[in-house]
Amino acid sequence: MRTRIIISIVFLSLGLIIAAIPNNKTLNFKMSAEEMIEEFNGRYQFISPDEIADMIISEDPNLQLIDLRSESEYKEFHLPGAVNIPFTDLLDDEYRYLVDQNLKINVFYSNGSVTSNEAWMVTRQLGYRNNYVLEGGLNYWAETIMNPDRPEQTSPNEEIARYNFRKGAGAALGGGSIEPANEMPEPVLPAIKKRPQKKRAQGGC
């Protein structure tokens, strides 16, 4: 019963998303509803703010941030190096080379996760490669990287190291000054878990 509900939600969401994109062509979906649900449950589309902050600071050439908000919102503020593709323009031919490629890790972001998830859903269904979502969007970014909660002095070393990393990253990216939560010999970056390799869906209709 629950699977049927999820399938219905997936198809309803896709219908609404596609209807919101003007001048779209006939779309040939590459993934089945079951495959889409499996990816949803695995949360493979999300990349954490910590991972993105580390990639920005280290100037990782594999990262391409894609801001899905309006042009005015983008001009007011955007993450370093991000390009602006408003969500309604996502499937325009001029952006195809960016959202369907095999060279960089595209990370969609908006203020929250909803719009980015919708963009990821459409591009995954179309078989486009290397698209992910900034977990929590800019709201969660501001909360975790630019203004992290200071842990208690008795907190585990891992939690203190994560806080120190976030404060340092926030300062490097234009936030507040570095203020370590506790004296540590060498603040350690949080472990970045390797993303599982996903097989591109074959065939389908």
C-alpha 3/C-alpha 100 separation (Å) is 29
Residue 149 class from Cβ within 10 Å (0-12 exposed, 13-18 middle, 19+ buried)? exposed
**Cα angle: 135, vertex 87, 197; to 5 degrees:** 45
C-alpha 147/C-alpha 151 separation (Å) is 12
pLDDT-based confidence at residue 29 (cuts at 50, 70, 90): low
Average pLDDT of the chain is 78
Class of the domain covering 2-22+30-140: alpha beta
Q: What is the mean pLDDT of residues 78-97?
A: 94
One-letter amino acid identity for 8? Answer: S
Location of each CATH 3.40.250.10 domain in the chain: 2-22+30-140
Q: Which two tokens stand for residue 202?
A: 């074959």
pLDDT for the residue 100: 93
For residue 112, give every residue at least 6 positions away whose Cβ sits within 8 Å of its Cβ, in sequence order, or none.
136, 137, 138, 139, 140
Query: Are 172 and 146 in contact, with CB atoms under 8 Å apart?
Result: no
For residue 157, CA distances in Å to 70, 115, 183 come to: 41, 35, 10
- 3-class secondary-structure state, position 149: coil
pLDDT digits 0-9 by tens, 61-72: 999 999 999 999
The neighbour count for residue 172, using CB atoms within 10 Å, is 14
pLDDT for the residue 175: 61
Q: What is the mean pLDDT of residues 23-34?
A: 60
Q: In sequence order, what E strands does the chain have?
A: 46-47, 63-67, 83-84, 105-109, 131-134
